[in-house]
A and B are shown apart, each in its own frame.
Chain A
Amino acid sequence: GAGVSQSPSNKVTEKGKDVELRCDPISGHTALYWYRQSLGQGLEFLIYFQGNSAPDKSGLPSDRFSAERTGGSVSTLTIQRTQQEDSAVYLCASSPRGAGESRETQYFGPGTRLLVL
């Protein structure tokens, strides 16, 4: 079956521009996560959506970052007035509803590589 997909795969933008990154989770998965991975670094949590609950935005680094999830499926991460330090790989993951280990596993997409010049 189809995994998590993200678009675009690569994005080059100029400092100060806004960018939108898209994530299509695995069908039926109720939880959706955004992480950021800087070059050679670990993953940094950004935001988490679970069903109809209010999202956990505790990882967003500044108010330039926002995300939404429409219809409980597709999510868009928006970065306004991009800065060079925003350059990173932005990863999306989803996980299913259910009991036991299945609900814990986060399935990652390939990421969007963002370069801010």
Chain B
Amino acid sequence: QQQVKQSPQSLIVQKGGISIINCAYENTAFDYFPWYQQFPGKGPALLIAIRPDVSEKKEGRFTISFNKSAKQFSLHIMDSQPGDSATYFCAAGRAGNKLTFGGGTRVLVKP
């Protein structure tokens, strides 16, 4: 199975709040888990990525948590800002190979 399931489909958060997006994968051969941010009319841009040898990775206000045994990973956006309003995609794959993407989460940060 190659599916990556992402939830929720959309979320609304107040400025300063925490946005949490969850993903689950099935293929245990996957060893690379990136998150992409996409603004309307633009291509996706890499936000942060993690390998399965660590359980958490933080870059600024963005944190990935990874649970290998549960085959789940999540993105936390701390202190959410209106400029974070975008669609976020999780993905999974073998490093240096094609990616399988989740269905996306549309995040709206209200000022």
Contact = CB atoms under 8 A, between A and B. Distances in A.
A89 B6 CA distance: 20
B100 interface: yes
Contact of A106 (B42, B99, B100, B102): B99
Contacts, number: 58
Contact of B102 (A42, A91, A105): A42
Contacts of B32: 104
B46 interface: yes
Given A48-B97, A104-B49, A104-B96, A109 B102 contact: no
B89 interface: yes
A64 B6 CA distance: 30
A4 B43 contact: yes
B54 interface: no
Given A43-B89, A104-B32, A110 B98 contact: no
B104 A42 contact: yes
A56 interface: yes
Given A45-B100, A48-B97, A108 B49 contact: no
Contact of A91 (B34, B44, B91): B44
Nearest to B36: A108
A36 to B, nearest CB: 11
Nearest to A40: B104
A65 interface: no
9 contacts: A4-B43, A43-B89, A43-B91, A43-B99, A56-B98, A104-B95, A104-B96, A106-B99, A109-B43
Interface of B: 6, 32, 34, 36, 41-46, 49, 89, 91, 95-104
Given A31-B96, A106-B34, 19 more contacts: A35-B101, A41-B104, A42-B101, A42-B104, A43-B89, A43-B101, A45-B98, A45-B101, A48-B98, A59-B98, A95-B96, A101-B49, A104-B49, A104-B95, A104-B96, A106-B99, A108-B36, A110-B42, A111-B43
| A-B pairs, 6 with minimum CB distance | A108-B43, A43-B101, A42-B101, A42-B103, A104-B95, A45-B98
